[in-house]
Structure 1
Amino acid sequence: MITHFKLEMRKSLIQVCGFLISTLGWVFISCTTAMDYWKVVYVGGKGGNWMIKASWYWSNLWRDCVTDTTSVTSCRDYDILWAVTSYVQGVRGLLMIGMTLGFVGAILCFIGMDCTYIGGREKAKDKTLLAGAMFHLVGGLSACAAYCLYTSKVISVAFAPTADRSIIRYGIGTPIFLGFIGSFLTILGSILYAVTVISKRMTSAFTKRSKTGHKSSKRLYSSVHYTPSRDLSRSSASHISKISNGKNGEKISAKDTFV
């Protein structure tokens, strides 16, 4: 009983840790969609007063901007939806899918955890928790694919062997690293959820097998019958009386019986 209680406490603790980790990852992913400096480059500062000539070019998912040393920022918002660059559209779509799946997964995991009193019976809660873990896993992979797509595009342009100086070679900004961390946390939380459900089912299956094996051994032991010593003494006495009466009903003389 005590060991069972300890196991339940460990499962609840792992599920709470998974909920906190996956929710934190979902928050990181959601914050990156509105952050600036997805890609940034520093231009100027050579030959003369860098305080006047230096500037920072940066972009996010929604606009391109430039900031000079006087902290004046000029931005150009992206045009209509179908005029945006294709890879930016793909990153937007993947992030929206990841955020939506993460939100649904957080709700399902909250309902399916052992420490909550909603969600029905134990089997129903396990199914709900496993479904939430799958939502988190797919959402984390979708967000990770979005960051990988954006990073590969920036790196391919930055290291492209071209002589055109009008092409701005950007570097990777802070939101990309924060997004990768959020994706990793979301996937890690889904793994923790799945481990609790799978371990619970494995332990229940093992206990069922042990119980069935114990019952079969009891039945095998009970099927063997032992003849009591009292029955053996009766059968030997009857056998001796038959011998004393003689074979085929013939009587034995007193001399023979004495011998």
Structure 2
Amino acid sequence: MSGIQILAFLGGLVGLGATFCAPLSNEWRTTSRASSVITATWVFQGLWNNCPGNAIGALHCRPYHTIFKLEGYIQACRGLMIAAVCLGFFGAVFALVGMKCTKIGGSDQSKARMACFAGVNFILSGFCSLSSCSLYAHRITSEFFDPMFVAQKYELGVALFIGWAGSILCVLGGGVFCFSMVDSSTRSSSRTGYAYGGPASTSHVSSHPKGHAQPMSQRPPPKYSSSSRAQHFDKNAYV
């Protein structure tokens, strides 16, 4: 089980790294390259910056200097991604303590609880990242396929796929850590279920401690007289 926990921990770390890199990227949505063939310019937009670029490679990013004028879904995606990173970080810390291969964390039962708590953090982190990326992608697709929307239309950016991949890894790693607690509790209950409870009155327990022989009584050998010895070995005694 410790090997599976190591794989789950590595998957959770990779998912946490992807969740951390996704909000830092400026490619949450991009303008279509096919519609920008003539002008050879396109725009990348993220949660924090707006970056126009061209075919030469020039890219100029401008941050969003306002918070209250931003659209509500962008602020919601920001909050969800920040929560995902924080939950994933705490999940990695608790997973490091609760893994069976580590020497910290106390008894096996407390380590199993710690691993389950880490799994819950990883799962919540994955769902936060998944919700944020899905909300942003839903807004992009609804605007792209809306015939009444006349403003600039965008397509899905690379950061969305990175966030989705990270969320899946976090959920899978968290599920393994939660399953480890169920497995440990099942093993402990199976051990206690086979305890022998037979009656103790059927067996005679010696009052002497183990390893010490019972002392022999020091009796002198019996003395036989000559007459009694002859009587003892008389032939009529065996008839």
TM-score range, shorter chain: 0.7 to 0.9
Map 1:106-121 to 2 at 5 A. 106-121=92-107
Bigger shift: residues 184-193 or 201-210:
201-210
What is the Cα deviation at residue 222 of structure 1?
4.6
Mapped pair 1:171 → 2:155: yes
* One-letter amino acid matched to 1:134: V
Residue 91 of structure 2: SS of its match in structure 1? helix
Structure 2 counterpart of 1:38:
28
Q: Does 1:159 align with 2:139?
A: no
Return the letter of the residue paired with 2:63. Answer: D
In 1, the alpha carbon distance for the partners of 2:174 and 2:50 equals: 35
Q: 2:123 aligns with which of 125, 132, 137?
A: 137
8 Å contact kept, 2:116–2:180: no
1:96 equivalent in alignment to 2:82 = yes
How far apart, in 1, do the equivalents of 2:24 and 2:11 lie? 21
Q: Tell me how far apart the structure 2 counterparts of residues 154 and 62 of structure 1 sit (CA, whole Å).
A: 17
2:173 aligned residue: 189
8 Å CA contact 2:26–2:51 kept in 1: the answer is: no
Consecutive unaligned residues of structure 1, counting only runs of 5 or more, are 1-10, 224-259
Alignment of 1:17-32 (within 5 A): 17-32=7-22
Distance 1:106 1:16 in 2: 11
1:201-245: per-residue Cα shift (whole Å, max 9, x none)? Answer: 11211221222xx42xx339959xxxxxxxxxxxxxxxxxxxxxx
Q: Partner letter of residue 135 of structure 1?
A: N
SS of 1:171's partner is strand
Partners of 1:25 and 1:183 within 8 A in 2: yes
Matched, 1:12 2:11: no
- Counterpart CA distance in 2 for 1:78 and 1:123 is 49
**C-alpha deviation, 1:159, in angstroms:** 0.8
Asked whether the equivalents of residues 26 and 50 of structure 2 are also in contact (C-alpha less than 8 Å), the reply is no
* Cα RMSD, aligned residues only: 1.8
Residues 169-207 of structure 1, C-alpha deviation per residue, up to 9 Å, x if partnerless? 111011111110100000100111111211111121122
Cα distance in 2 between the residues matched to 1:222 and 1:190: 51
5+ long unaligned stretches in structure 2: 204-239
Aligned-partner Cα distance in 1 for 2:201–2:161: 66
Flag the structure with higher helix content. Answer: 1
The separation in 2 between residues aligned to 1:148 and 1:175, in whole angstroms, is: 12
Which residue of structure 1 lines up, in the alignment, with residue 112 of structure 2?
126
Q: Deviations over 1:60-96 (max 9, x none)?
A: 1112222122222233321222222211100000000
How many pairs align?
A: 201
Residue type at the aligned position of 2:152: I
Cα offset, 1:31, TM superposition: 0.7
Q: Which AA in structure 1 matches 2:98? A: G
TM-score (norm 1): 0.73
Deviations 1:9-63 (A, max 9, x none): xx11111111100111000010111112111112332xxxx4xx22112201112
Contact 1:104–1:132 at 8 Å: present in 2 too? yes
CA distance in 2, matches of 1:115, 1:31: 29
Question: What is the alpha-carbon distance in structure 2 between the residues aligned to residue 124 and residue 44 of structure 1?
Answer: 59
